[in-house]
A and B are shown apart, each in its own frame.
Chain A
């Protein structure tokens, strides 16, 4: 399934923070949806933003590039990013690409669906 999203909030020690719940695949077709999702939460640009990957079943190298682009946008407004719901496989990819140096990975992850299309 191509990427979809919904916006919500999630609990944080300092209160609720904005969260983008992503559903589907993050690949070449996901660029516009990711931009749209980020624009929808951009009003409060300094508070942390949570990316929820629990229902993402596929991320490829183009998807990694889109996440790097999103990270660059967030950093330009000093907005911290967090990732929840990453499977062990994608946590590994975040680590080898060093995305995890810039995006806090919140564990434990929920269910770990295999990367099927």
Chain B
């Protein structure tokens, strides 16, 4: 009977039928399956054959094109059909059957696997003009039994491919959202006479609801803001963006922390979704005297390390977006020379360990007590939290901002240069960095930094800028009494994090390539290494403290993060 059959898969039916199903509202799962099954109808009818085996007659075969509504009774009927069914035996009240009749269908073969109708084959008259014999039906039945699982597999693969494309699209959009959000965080902090600022920001997901901002006010004071939107991910990020804009706008109108919070609260209430709110702390600092006015909208109270003591700046108020008419009392304190202030979100205090214990305020205060500088406090906090929460996911966005009022003016300076992306220039970068920081680091730590710089620069040249000599690798070196910070920028997309951790046993056994040591060396030779993006540039920041080594060599510290630069 091969002269009578020629089938081909219908490729567009799924979309058409799927659209029809969706337009009637959300179909039940069974209906969706039926819709998918219906979409798979494909058959070729040899309507007007003249001679057995005539190639022209095969070429004239017409495709039967029948779209079946998910609610069509034909589908329910075929679900329990024992095998090929004559058109005359199908329910006459089915619109699909009527359309099949119009197109000359004589036999319908259901494709059933695991009790589920996944498709069907509709056949017109045999080319030989004889009726379908018992053998024909047996053969069609066998064909359906073998083809049905394969068809189902194909359908599942198509669904999975669609889902993968959708996931990729969402990831791409989140990446763009992350870039946009990073623009909100200060990439450069305003020059603060004699004050030193450090910041760390790491969202729990691609984007987050924490934020911080530093605004130079017209009267020479500086406004420092930290905030935390309830929830995390996309909803929190959207509210964060809105709050950020409102705070900036309010800061233009008033230099009073309480008034800024009051205005933003009133403006935020009509915008913010139910059950969401924003905690926020605003400080306005007179850099010359250390006089600090502050007001709080439900945010964690800042810690101040003064001499050997740790105190909290006390201020309370309703979170933003909850209650119209809220008033925010303004408080005042003086940050003395040598004091270190820590502003932080609850992502640090409420992080749990693998045993379910919370990091808490006690550990946070202890870190403040031990801090030698603002940078040191950030580094120690990140390391302490990392080891405390080893083996568990980061639960919430983490923000740390430190303000260190220098005892003697806090001298610091920055040197920047760039090199073309040509092989070998990593050694030039290494030597120039070494010359700039000479005398600040002991020899062993200088050598370690040099190797880390060389590796990072080589990565920027070879991978980030793909060896394109027209693209420059930017290098910035900041020197302070506490630390040397080197930032190396390229135009790539960042380090390859999917790569294996290098293991010499595996390498010697031929199970890993001998290469792949670059990132490993950078992680193990610096006190802190992290990567982030700034506009279209990817930047790796390497930090080496001038004091005693605090790097934990058993726990690499390179983490993608967004961190504001020191002024």
Task: List residues of chain A with CB under 8 Å of any chain B CB.
Answer: 28, 58, 60-62, 64-66, 68-69, 71-72, 75, 87-89, 92-93, 96-99, 101-102, 114-117
Contact = CB atoms under 8 A, between A and B. Distances in A.
A87 B516 CA distance: 23
A89 B443 CA distance: 9
Contacts, number: 77
Interface residues of B, number: 33
Contacts of B508: 68, 71-72, 75, 102
A61 B430 contact: no
B430 A117 contact: yes
Q: 3 nearest interchain CB pairs?
A: A117-B427, A89-B447, A61-B517
Nearest to B454: A60
A60 B514 contact: no
Interface of B is mostly: helix
A71 B505 CA distance: 11
B510 to A, nearest CB: 8
B447 A114 contact: yes
Given A60-B454, A117-B430, A72 B514 contact: yes
Interface of B: 423, 426-428, 430-431, 434, 443-444, 446-448, 450-451, 454-455, 458, 502, 504, 507-508, 510, 513-518, 520-521, 524-525, 553
A66 B517 CA distance: 11
30 contacts: A28-B423, A58-B427, A60-B426, A60-B451, A60-B518, A61-B516, A61-B517, A61-B518, A62-B515, A66-B514, A68-B504, A71-B508, A72-B508, A75-B508, A87-B447, A88-B447, A89-B447, A89-B448, A89-B451, A92-B444, A97-B502, A97-B521, A102-B508, A114-B446, A114-B447, A115-B430, A115-B447, A116-B431, A117-B427, A117-B431
Contacts of A64: 517, 521
B444 A89 contact: yes
Given A64-B517, A65-B514, A65-B515, A93 B504 contact: no
Given A65-B516, A93-B451, A99-B504, 19 more contacts: A60-B455, A60-B458, A61-B458, A61-B517, A61-B518, A61-B521, A62-B515, A64-B517, A65-B514, A72-B508, A72-B514, A88-B444, A92-B448, A96-B524, A97-B517, A101-B504, A114-B447, A115-B447, A117-B430
Nearest to B512: A68
Given A60-B458, A75-B508, A114-B443, A97 B520 contact: yes
A74 to B, nearest CB: 10
B49 to A, nearest CB: 69
Contacts of B458: 60-61
Nearest to A101: B504
B421 to A, nearest CB: 15
B553 A61 contact: no
Contacts of B513: 65
B507 A72 contact: yes
A30 B232 CA distance: 50
A39 to B, nearest CB: 18
